[in-house]
């Protein structure tokens, strides 16, 4: 059950041995000890993690996190609706691409991958385009590691009576938030992110009143968010189609371990400590972060690639992997970067070991 290397990526990520061990039993999807005692408990725990407000519910969806984003976009927006998308990274762009595939009318505001979207420009779009009904924003853009100013943006959208969809794929469970206090209508995340489970399903935490409005609006059978929720509501956690049972049981274990750690606040502190040690250590080795300090999230950090003519990411990657660390290639369109994640079953001592490994892997020096 031991891994050869530590995954320093935004997910899939390194998990605990006990989370992996939880997958070593088969489950029947009809039994109460799976649906009532695992799935329904997960659904309740997710809502409690997301908000202290009443009126919210949760639904689990098979597939990657993107499948849950597509289920939400394709189910929440009516045929005469219009989506306003903030695109300042690959995942905002993906929301727009989903809307395009589903033939949903949209207004896309594209901005730099290394700056916050302009609040003034966003408001002007709301003023100039009254046909907009829904607003979509990515909380943590793992393209760069930037944490978008969602509180200000959501408050603005609500001032203009828009339904808010927030992709919190890489932040939920690792950054403290209350989606009820922010008045978010739909929040989307995935099992293999800050809860520290394994890939296989995503989930949506939503206002029940808004989820009920999705009935009959889905543009896909398997990604019908309302029908999946209704089936779980009526059948005590039963999934419409094949449930990813092993992944679900691992996620249940991961939720227990989040509680044992001290909840989201304790995990957020660990991730932030990881990131601070990482940036300090990498700077000392000559690496510069892509983003200015105020823009950093504790989730993942982008670093400029060395300018030395002999540097090749693949060689650097392989040398780190041989020492037990896996990092991530860059995804920024206008800069040569690589990324290092701070989330998962990763602790400050691991980051200190990583810095030593990076020093040894710098073959171009």
pLDDT digit string, tens, across residues 160-209:
999 999 999 999 999 999 999 999 999 999 999 999 999 999 999 999 99
Q: How far, in Å, CA of 203 to CA of 208, rounded?
A: 14
Q: What is the pLDDT of residues 104-136, one digit of tens each?
A: 999 999 988 888 999 999 999 999 999 999 999
Q: Give pLDDT, residue 330.
A: 81
Domain positions in the chain: 18-260, 263-361
Region of residue 215 (phi > 0: left; psi between -120 and 50: alpha; otherwise: beta): beta
263-361 CATH choice from 2.70.98.10, 3.90.1150.10, 3.40.605.10, 3.30.420.10: 3.90.1150.10
Whether the ω angle into residue 12 lies within 30 degrees of 0, i.e. cis, is yes
Higher pLDDT, 22 or 334: 22
> If you average pLDDT over every residue of the chain, what do you get?
95
For the chain, helix (H) and strand (E) counts, in that order, are: 14, 14
Residue 165 phi, psi dihedral angles, 5° rounding:
-115, 120
Please check if 53 is assigned to a binding site.
Answer: no
**Tell me: the pLDDT tens digits for 339-357?**
999 999 999 999 999 999 9
> Which residues are bridge partners to 337 per DSSP?
304
CATH topology of domain 18-260: 3.40.640
Q: What is the pLDDT of residue 235?
A: 93
Q: In this predicted structure, what is the pLDDT of residue 300?
A: 93
pLDDT at 337 over 80: yes
């Amino acid at each position: 059950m031991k891994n050869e290397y530590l995954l320093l990526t935004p997910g899939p990520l390194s998990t605990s041995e006990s989370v992996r061990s939880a997958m070593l039993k088969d489950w029947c999807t009809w039994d109460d000890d799976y649906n009532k005692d695992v799935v329904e408990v997960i659904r309740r725990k997710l809502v409690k993690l997301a908000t202290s407000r009443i009126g919210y519910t949760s639904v689990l969806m098979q597939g990657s996190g993107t499948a849950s984003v597509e289920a939400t976009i394709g189910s929440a927006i009516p045929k005469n609706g219009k989506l306003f998308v903030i695109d300042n990274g690959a995942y905002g762009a993906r929301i727009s691409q989903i809307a395009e595939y589903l033939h949903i009318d949209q207004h896309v505001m594209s901005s730099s991958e290394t700056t916050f979207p302009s609040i003034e420009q966003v408001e002007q779009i709301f003023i100039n385009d009254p046909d907009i009904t829904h607003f979509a924003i990515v909380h943590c853009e793992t393209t760069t590691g930037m944490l978008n100013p969602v509180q200000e943006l959501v408050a603005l959208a609500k001032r203009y009576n828009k339904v808010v969809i927030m992709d919190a794929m890489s932040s939920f469970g690792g950054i403290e938030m209350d989606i009820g206090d922010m008045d978010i209508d739909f929040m989307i995340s995935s099992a293999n992110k800050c809860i520290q489970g394994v890939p296989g399903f995503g989930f949506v935490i939503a206002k029940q009143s808004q989820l009920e409005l999705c009935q009959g609006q889905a543009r896909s059978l398997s990604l019908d968010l309302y029908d999946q929720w209704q089936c779980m509501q009526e059948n005590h956690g039963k999934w419409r189609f094949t449930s990813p049972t092993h992944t679900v049981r691992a996620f249940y274990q991961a939720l227990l371990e989040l509680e044992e750690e001290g909840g989201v606040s304790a995990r957020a502190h660990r991730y932030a400590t990881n990131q601070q040690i990482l940036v300090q250590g990498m700077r000392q080795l000559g690496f510069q972060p892509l983003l200015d300090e105020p823009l950093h999230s504790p989730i993942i950090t982008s670093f400029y690639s060395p300018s030395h003519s002999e540097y090749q990411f693949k060689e650097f990657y392989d040398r780190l992997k041989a020492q037990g660390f896996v990092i991530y290639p860059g995804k920024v369109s206008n800069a040569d970067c690589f990324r290092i994640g701070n989330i998962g079953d990763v602790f400050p001592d691991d980051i200190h070991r990583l810095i030593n490994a990076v020093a040894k892997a710098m073959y171009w020096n």
